[in-house]
Amino acid sequence: MLPTLYERFPLRELNTFGVEARARHFCRVRNADELAALAAEPRLAGLPRLVLGGGSNLLLTGDFDGLVIKVEAPGLRDLGEADGVWRIEVGAGENWHATVERLLAMDRPGLENLALIPGHCGAAPIQNIGAYGLELAERFDSLIAWDLQTQQQVRMSAAECDFGYRDSAFKRELAGRRVILAITLALPKQWQPVAGYADVVHELKARGVAQPGPRDIFDAVVAIRRRKLPDPAAIGNAGSFFKNPIVSREEHRALIAHYPSLVGYPLPGGRVKLAAAWLIDAAGLKGATRGRAGVYEKQALVLVNRGGATGAEILALAREVQDKVAEKFGLRLQPEPVIV
Ligand SMILES: Cc1cc2nc3c(=O)[nH]c(=O)nc-3n(C[C@H](O)[C@H](O)[C@H](O)COP(=O)(O)OP(=O)(O)OC[C@H]3O[C@@H](n4cnc5c(N)ncnc54)[C@H](O)[C@@H]3O)c2cc1C
């Protein structure tokens, strides 16, 4: 059945930056049948599509002259255990954090490091969400999506999603092409804590926890995030605006020679992931304000809407950050959110 179509639909409440923008057409979908009906609708023929989840990882720079499809596919199904993992299928429209919490309550731990990441389950594969030493790819089995070109449902394995650091095929060759309807998680039956990340180590120590269980990690991550990250309900933002750049060992050596306090994390194979927040801070931009957009004072990686900023203002600030960091360090930061 064709979902209800709305015209000139306001998107301000549907993006965590809280910027004003309108969709020429807007609808909510729950399943593949509704997507098939949209494909057959003459009014929408040839129009660009934008798929929307919780709107917490995109920057709208103007009105969208096409169809915005908000995915609200519901449900959570325990598919049982095989090969040492629990498989759980979750509808794309389910809230991510609520799902992490629900699985913990069902005695299906494994996602607690990713607690409190805003947004919906269907968007989690898009940038292979990650935090505090864990990425979705490590807990992922497969997904079901609708292909907007062939108008058919497909199942994709982890290999086909081609996950990388805050990256997947959905940000590259499949950009804008697939609507994810459900994801299947793979949670190891033998739970092991992922507690090597410095912030998590300190938080557990401060709480007097020597042998953490899933609930301890969950509580620690939630507490750290509440302290560090701005709540989009209070101040518009999309979390980290830039990816941490990855450089070769030689490039790292050359940078450290000039900037001994540069923060970096060694990666397997000799490469080094640099803290983009440190680079932005060192470029003198932490806490900066340009018009109604700003660089968050407690975390330079986060750009914020200080009230009434347009997407274009935030984008201009992002470009300034990229230019100043490039000028000083010879590295061009890459944005993490999708810029529409
Ligand atoms: C305060 C804050 C903290 C954050 N912390 C983290 C963090 O620690 N780690 C991290 O990885 N991210 C983080 N993020 C970013 C964001 O929460 C995640 O990327 C999240 O997965 C986005 O989900 P969403 O439903 O809001 O996606 P949206 O913003 O709605 O969409 C993001 C992209 O995914 C596409 N998309 C969404 N749903 C679907 C679907 N069903 N099918 C196909 N494409 C789809 C959209 O077209 C768009 O390109 C943070 C954001 C905020 C605001």
336 labelled catalytic: yes
Decide if 200 contacts 221 (C-beta within 8 A).
yes
166 noted as active-site residue: yes
Q: What is the pLDDT of residue 339?
A: 95
Ligand 1: centre distance to CA 209 (Å): 31
Is 110's C-beta closer than 6 angstroms to any atom of ligand 1? no
pLDDT digits (tens, 9 = 90+) for 41-58: 999 999 999 999 999 999
Mean pLDDT of 86-92: 98
- Measured in Å, residue 68 CA sits from the centre of ligand 1 at 16
Q: Is 226 a catalytic site residue?
A: no
Cβ(117)–Cβ(229) under 8 Å? no
Closest to 270 measured CA to CA, from 247, 299, 302: 247
- The pLDDT, as a whole number, for residue 268 is 85
Nearest-atom number in ligand 1 for the CA of 93 is 41
The CA 119 to ligand 1 mean position distance, Å, reads: 5
> Is 227 in contact with 219 (CB distance < 8 Å)?
no
Task: Find the 38 Cα to ligand 1 centroid distance in Å.
Answer: 24
pLDDT-based confidence at residue 196 (cuts at 50, 70, 90): confident
As a whole number of angstroms, the distance between CA 57 and CA 19 comes to 13
Mean pLDDT of the chain: 96
Nearest ligand 1 atom, CA 178: 43
Query: From the CB of 122, is ligand 1 less than 6 Å away?
Result: yes
Nearest CA to ligand 1 atom 10: 129
Q: Residue range 72-95: average pLDDT? A: 97
Selected catalytic residue, list 139, 166, 178, 225: 166
Enter the pTM of the model. Answer: 0.95
Q: Which two tokens stand for residue 28?
A: 């909510």
**pLDDT of amino acid 303:** 97
| DSSP letters spanning 53-106 | SSS-SEE--S-EEEEEEEE----EEEEEEETTEEEEEEETTSBHHHHHHHHHHT
Which of 30, 38, 69, 117 to mutate for ligand 1's pocket (most ligand atoms within 8 Å of CB)? 117
Average pLDDT over residues 320-331: 96
Catalytic one of 72, 89, 240, 313: 240
